[in-house]
Amino acid sequence: MDLKPLFFGLFLLLFIGCKETHFYLSKIEGKQISISDSIATNNEIEAFIKPYRNHIQKDLNSVLAYSVGTYTKTDGDFNTAIGNFMADAIFDEANPIFKSRTGKNIDMVLLNHGGIRSIISKGNITTRTAFELMPFENTLLVVEMKGTQIDSLVAYLSEAKKAHPISKLKLVIDTDFNIIEATINGKDIEDEKTYYVLTNDYLYNGGDNMTFFKRNGGVHDLNYKVRNALIDHFKKVDTISPVRDDRFIQKSN
Amino acid sequence: MKRRDFLQKTSVATGALTLGGLGLQSFTTSAKTSQITILHTNDVHSHIDAFGPEDGRNANKGGVARRASLIESIRNENPNTLLFDAGDIFQGTPYFNYYGGELEFKLMSMLKYDASTIGNHDFDNGIDGLYAQLPYAKFDFICSNYDFSNTIMNTHVKPYRIFKKGSIKIGVFGLGIELDGLVDKNMYKETKYLNPIETAQEMTRILKDDERCDLIICLSHLGYDYSKENPNKISDLKLATATKNIDLIIGGHTHTFLSKPTVMKNIEDKNMLVNQVGCYGINLGRIDFYFDSEKNKTVSGTSIIV
């Protein structure tokens, strides 16, 4: 008698009954597939994206203002037209918000030179311009600082040798980068006075080595993105024609 | 592309690979062999559209609509496919600025992602901004080392999940990067970061010993390797060598482009894989796991072809 079929059947039964524990990993194959233009577009996905894309394109292309010239962050040693514009613009937009919430005015503004992410070209300013100028999601903060802490901020600026955008603060340095004059709204900085400094969350958290914000008397988050402040400003003005001025200059000895 | 260039045998002596390959072929029609295909992306950063022809680095690459076609064709070829993302879905194009991640989640749902872990940039609109987009995600968020219990995300993120494909149980857990110093506290709020190695040990114990998973995958946003700049910092490579029972770490965060998946030895000296596919959706990672019945097991163990 041939018992082979019986044995086979028994074995099969045994195998099926215990299959959960009877697998082992025999082989692994790994590779990376490049998503290139040789892969066909899925039309359903494409059609789904289209209205979103069209809305964004339309909005980014909408004209908000006109720029008289082309402005770049490299057209000045200690202050630039584009930096002055940005610092003044965010002051104009943020100060009414801060005042309505606290009853106080913002005393000065500080941004960073590296944060100017593109040029402003002569011609139409669109929403896209604001995105190119400020692609990041940083928000505006007002930091309370004593005059003594403002001194550290001023010392940073005198040593940085960069056109970090400022507003309402005026600085004069000599050829050795020593501070000759430092005023806020035309007045000398008083050690014990509290100043309200408008900046963004990146710098407040020590970005660009701006460690002087660490010692502060409090911080007010305006929940207002830098880019949105610029967009709101562009919407309000017809034309921009910022200039390099005397807010931060170097005087020969 | 010459396939031979990518053949790298890691576990056994020369020759055994061919043998294993033959053995496999003879069983592909049998129910005893199972193939699990794992597809993965990381750090897509809102790159929904393909890069244009003018792009300096990634011209004509990427695009969700193309990724969809590719994934669909692989799924048709093998229904036992899982699709994962290793975090940083958000931030990088105006799609995120305008819609806050809504479109990213909707598209990932249409592509039938099975799960994603959470990257640091997924907090860019705050934990509330992430929570607000959850209704658009028809896939799971898996992160084992962020304790969300005192946040709005509580109960919306799973520490692990088990997927069953055919007869194979696949356990998946997730690891996020330390948020302190990387993300503003106002953004992540009361999210607590737990030690990734301890968490991984706990997860693999649950998935291997308790749940008896056949395959264990870690979705990691820790970053590939910091041995040069910061040797003490936990990375995917460090995690790989410090743990056991993880078969694959799908990484992210460091935007690392690898020519092929990295084969690592775990703490038990067993081979496992670490992979990452750069960023911006310009690549799709594909790892195929072949399971055979125990009776066909050879002394050669698992062969790895990358």
- Domain of A188, CATH number, reads 3.90.780.10
A137 close contact with B: CB closer than 8 A = yes
Whether pLDDT at A7 is above 90: no
Cα distance from B88 to chain A (closest Cα, Å)?
A: 15
pTM here is 0.78
Q: Which residues of B are less than 8 Å from A55 in CB distance?
A: 98
Give the count of domains, chain B: 1
pLDDT of residue A23: 83
pLDDT of residue B56: 85
Q: Which residues of A are less than 8 Å from B168 in CB distance?
A: 23
Q: Does residue A204 sit within a domain?
A: yes
Give the count of domains, chain A: 1
The proportion of chain A whose per-residue pLDDT surpasses 70, expressed as a percent, equals 91
Whether pLDDT at B29 is above 60: no
B136 close contact with A: CB closer than 8 A = no
More confident residue, B53 or B151: B151
Q: Does residue A54 sit within a domain?
A: no
Please, what is the average pLDDT of chain B?
90
The range of the structural domain enclosing residue B180 comes to 34-296
E strands, chain A, where?
A: 23-34, 63-67, 108-110, 123-126, 139-146, 166-167, 169-173, 179-184, 187-188, 194-200, 218-225, 239-240, 248-250
Whether pLDDT at B24 is above 60: no
pLDDT of residue B11: 40
Confidence band (pLDDT; 50, 70, 90) for B26? very low
Residues A78-86, mean pLDDT to the nearest whole number: 98
Residues A155-177, mean pLDDT to the nearest whole number: 96
Q: Does residue B78 sit within a domain?
A: yes
Cα distance from A37 to chain B (closest Cα, Å)?
A: 6
In chain B, positions 51-70, which contact chain A (CB-CB < 8 Å)? 60-70
Closest partner residue to B288 (CB to CB) among A20, A28, A41 is: A28
Contact indicator for A223, A200 with CB cutoff of 8 Å: no
Q: List the single residue in B with minimal CA-CA distance to A204.
A: B184
pLDDT of residue B54: 85
Whether pLDDT at A103 is above 80: yes
Contact indicator for A77, A250 with CB cutoff of 8 Å: yes
The proportion of chain B whose per-residue pLDDT surpasses 90, expressed as a percent, equals 80
Q: Does residue A44 sit within a domain?
A: no
Q: Does residue A194 sit within a domain?
A: yes
Whether pLDDT at B125 is above 70: yes
Contact indicator for A15, B290 with CB cutoff of 8 Å: no
Q: Which residues of B are less than 8 Å from A31 in CB distance?
A: 6, 260-261, 285-286, 306
In chain A, positions 43-62, which contact chain B (CB-CB < 8 Å)? 43-46, 48-49, 52-53, 55-56, 59-60
Closest partner residue to B70 (CB to CB) among A35, A52, A221 is: A35
Closest partner residue to B302 (CB to CB) among A26, A37, A46 is: A26
- What are the backbone dihedrals phi and psi of residue B143, each rounded to the nearest 5 degrees, phi first? -150, 125
Please, what is the average pLDDT of chain A?
92
- ipTM score of complex: 0.88
Q: Does residue A138 sit within a domain?
A: yes
User: Best of B293, B296, B298, B300 to disrupt the A interface by mutation (most A CBs within 10 Å)?
Assistant: B293
User: Best of A25, A50, A133, A136 to disrupt the B interface by mutation (most B CBs within 10 Å)?
Assistant: A25
A34 close contact with B: CB closer than 8 A = yes
**How far apart, in whole angstroms, are the C-alpha atoms of residue A39 and residue A36?**
6
Q: Does residue B151 sit within a domain?
A: yes
Whether pLDDT at B301 is above 80: no
Q: Do A24 and B294 touch (CB under 8 A)?
A: yes
Q: Does residue A25 sit within a domain?
A: no
The range of the structural domain enclosing residue A116 comes to 59-248
By DSSP bridging, strand B262-265 and strand B283-293 are unpaired
Q: Does residue B25 sit within a domain?
A: no
Tell me B194's DSSP state. -
Structure tokens at B125: 């609109």
Alpha-carbon B189 to chain mean position? 26
Any idea how long chain B is? Answer: 306
pLDDT of residue A6: 58
B118 close contact with A: CB closer than 8 A = no
Asked whether the CA dihedral A230, A231, A232, A235 is positive or negative, the reply is positive
Q: Does residue A222 sit within a domain?
A: yes
**How far apart, in whole angstroms, are the C-alpha atoms of residue B138 and residue B117?**
14
Whether pLDDT at B297 is above 80: no
Q: Does residue B10 sit within a domain?
A: no
Q: Does residue B19 sit within a domain?
A: no
Question: A49 vs A56, B19, B58, CA distance in Å?
Answer: 11, 48, 21
Alpha-carbon B35 to chain mean position? 18
pLDDT of residue A4: 63
The proportion of chain B whose per-residue pLDDT surpasses 70, expressed as a percent, equals 89
Stretch among A42-56, A77-91, B3-17, B86-100 having the lowest mean pLDDT: B3-17
CB-count burial class (<10 Å; 0-12, 13-18, 19+) for B306: buried
Q: Does residue A186 sit within a domain?
A: yes
